[in-house]
Amino acid sequence: MILRVLRVGLLRLRHNPVEVLLALVVPVVFFTIFALIFDKQLGAGKTKPIRVATVDCDGSELSQQLLDSVAADDLVLHNKLADRHGADDPGPTYQQAGDLVLRGDVTISIAVQEGWTDSLETDNPLPLLVIADTSDPVAPRMIESVLQRAFGESRAEAQATALKESAAKIESIKANALAGGPAASDPTASPSDLPGLPPPAVPSAETSSQTQPTPAALAPLEVQKVDLFGDGKANPVVSMYAAGIAVMFLLFSATGNAGSLLDEEENQTLERLMCSRLGMTQLLLGKWLTLGVVGVIQVAVMFAWAQLVFGVNVLAKLPGFTLMTLATVAAASSLALVLAAACKSRGQLNAVSVILILTMSALGGSMVPRYLMSESMQQMGRLTFNAWAIDGYNKLFWRDLPLAELGPELAVLGGSAVALLLVARLLARRWEMA
Amino acid sequence: MLLAAHQIEKRFGELTALHGVSLHVEQGERLALLGPNGAGKTTFVRCLCGRLSPNAGWVEMMGKRLPPRGGRAELGFVPQELAIYPDLTARENLSAFGRFHGVSGRRLRDRVTWALEWTGLADRQHSLVKTFSGGMKRRVNIACGVLHRPRVLLLDEPTVGVDPQSRERIFTMLDQLSEEGAAIVLTTHHLEEAEQRCDRIVIIDHGRIAAEGTLADLIAGTIGPQRRVKVKLVDPLQQVNGFALDPDGRGLQAKIADVARDLPQLISEVDGAGGRIADIEVHAPTLHAVFLHLTGKELRE
């Protein structure tokens, strides 16, 4: 009897290839996506390069060496702003460096302040500014390590150069003394007293601040982290996850609801509707609006919860939130109608939508933040609604960008909504008439 | 003629589902469309509704040729399946389908109230349809197709899967519409429905009209009006003059044209042969017999 039950179960599976496909293909698809996201990164002991911009307002040899060394690091994908070229050219500003981070063009901007090199010889050395997008909490720490290492290397190089120069000067002084020159009158002069000579050794950044009090010249690099996003926000990172989850479930609920078209086809309600005065275009638009209303409520509830419980300030960004939500919901509803119109049955729709939505969500950043992905994966993610929607919500709640900055996201989502709705209408012709 | 179909031909790839089917229906007439499974009944109804575009032929309504699609506001259609929203109440369903058929405002409210009374569901108007019995759902299904007062109502097997009481109620509802002047065209496999409840019958087979007319016309044109008589005998007989006996000699069957004239003669012949009659059955010709005569006994899958 038990074996008969097993046999019946297996036979039923055999007669439902879509279920089998779902059970076999979905895990493989997801394994592939996540393998592509993390391959050659965490598993291989490597980390994805961090997009970094550098601004050199100091313009010294040391600062240049330092930034060159940072740029050459394997961990860094460098986006170099122009250096200062002279008194007439003010060069890139701290503001520009910050803007790059704000817009998400780079994860971190490193700014060397004017007079930084000179300040190293004082008791109060100027810090290097690390302007960070703290939605990626790992990147600033990694960049600080890179900076400390690069600083040590740059100082060592400068020290070696200075030692050579000092040695040359000593040789010159000795030669002068032997010839009866001015140095002969100061027998106590030593190389370290000579101007510009660096200290004999620079300890590592990790140990310098822990072992013994050191003079300013031996101190590790002072780094000041500037958080452009998190300051003043109750729980800023949550907005990212709210957007990611909201979009994913929006797609799920929209495709589920759009499946009512297939139910109506199966029970002949569609046949009856098409015999009435209702046209297919009206029917699709009505369905689209239904999906839209449900979607807007769903996203609104999600963000209302995010505001109430996690402190995401949705009300302060209400116009932008409304526009983003309308565009996202419109696009998701259109996609759902395309899927419903393209599929032959509810079962087929379920299988296709689960695979498509989970893939879109994985690539688009609903499951794993896109900054963890390689550049190519990030670009691939831009083919999904999730990425555009999440980027738009992030611009609002994370980056605090003005409404006008939502242009690309609104255009892509809105354009997709219209285009997909037209595709759905074309596909729905099969229901109109045989 | 209220509705007429002329030489409707419909092909699906290699398969020709309808071979030039023509019929007409008059005001207040109840027309039954019979045929085995796959005979082309539903395809023909869909062509009438404008849901299928015929490859040849056309449909006319009140003398006006209809386009392949649309222009059928005077037509009502009730599909075979329960084409209603189970998660809406009876009233909500009626309101929705009334609106889809172009009825609105006060007229819609009046029609919905009428439909609830007509179906006997006024006291359940606020209940979700999914909580209804099969017969109640069928009544809502029909009511959703008549809110716009169609002149012709097309019903695809409207009583499938319902109990005799519900079936009776449904036909009472349809009779009411017919009395108000609407023409009813229904497809059915219940031959007694066609026989008892319809004025005219059309039998379709293999995409062609096999026979058409009143029951009497069909009988006259096929198996003839003779009654079939079955006589059971108490004791077996060897021979009865003019009638063939069953192999065991305990019964005989005969066809008689006139019961009053021919039945006494049969009884007299049995008496004359020394037989004693245990029972006599006289069967009038039925639509069932006509149907099998026209379409054969072979299964249609």
Q: How far apart are CA B72 and CA B153, in angstroms?
A: 11
Q: What is the residue type of B112?
A: V
| pTM recorded for the entire structure | 0.76
Lowest-pLDDT range, A28-32, A236-240, B1-5, B29-33? A236-240
CB pairs under 8 A between A and B: 53
CB contacts under 8 A, B 56-75 vs A, are: 68-69, 72-73, 75
CB count within 10 Å of CB B136 equals 20
For residues B256 and B263, the answer to whether their CB atoms sit within 8 Å is yes
Closest CA to B55 of B74, B68, B70: B68
- The pLDDT value recorded for residue A43 is 45
* Of the partner residues B69, B72, B79, the one whose CB lies closest to the CB of residue A433: B69
- With an 8 Å Cβ cutoff, are B53 and A433 in contact? yes
- The pLDDT value recorded for residue A180 is 60
- With an 8 Å Cβ cutoff, are A272 and B68 in contact? no
For residues A328 and A292, the answer to whether their CB atoms sit within 8 Å is no
The structure tokens listed for B108 are: 């819609």
* Of the partner residues B46, B50, B100, the one whose CB lies closest to the CB of residue A273: B100
Cα distances from A138 to residues A41, A367, B299, in angstroms, run 14, 18, 74
Compare all CA atoms of chain B with the CA of A275 and give the residue at the minimum distance: B49
* Angle A49-A54-A55 from CA coordinates, rounded to 5°: 175
- With an 8 Å Cβ cutoff, are B83 and A271 in contact? yes
ipTM: 0.84
pLDDT tens readout for residues A340-399 = 999 988 888 988 898 889 889 888 888 888 877 777 788 888 899 889 999 898 888 877
- With an 8 Å Cβ cutoff, are B51 and A275 in contact? yes
* Of the partner residues A271, A433, A434, the one whose CB lies closest to the CB of residue B79: A271
Residue, of B155 and A62, whose pLDDT is higher: B155
Compare all CA atoms of chain A with the CA of B83 and give the residue at the minimum distance: A269
Per-residue pLDDT of chain B (301 residues; tens, 9 = 90+): 889 999 999 999 889 999 999 999 999 999 999 998 888 999 999 999 888 889 999 999 988 899 877 788 889 999 989 999 999 999 999 999 999 999 999 999 999 999 999 988 999 999 999 999 988 999 999 999 999 999 999 999 888 888 888 888 888 989 999 999 999 999 988 888 888 889 999 999 999 998 899 888 888 888 887 888 889 999 888 888 777 888 888 888 888 888 888 889 888 888 888 888 999 999 888 888 888 888 876 666 6
Residues of A in contact with B72 (CB under 8 A): 275
* Of the partner residues A264, A271, A277, the one whose CB lies closest to the CB of residue B100: A277
- With an 8 Å Cβ cutoff, are B77 and A273 in contact? no
Q: How far apart are CA A27 and CA A22, in angstroms?
A: 8
Check CB contact of B161 with chain A, cutoff 8 Å.
Answer: no
* Angle A71-A75-A78 from CA coordinates, rounded to 5°: 35
Q: How far apart are CA B200 and CA B178, in angstroms?
A: 13
Compare all CA atoms of chain A with the CA of B13 and give the residue at the minimum distance: A434
Average pLDDT over residues A38-43: 55
Contact residues of A toward B, CB < 8 A: 264, 266-269, 271-278, 432-434
* Of the partner residues B51, B82, B97, the one whose CB lies closest to the CB of residue A267: B82
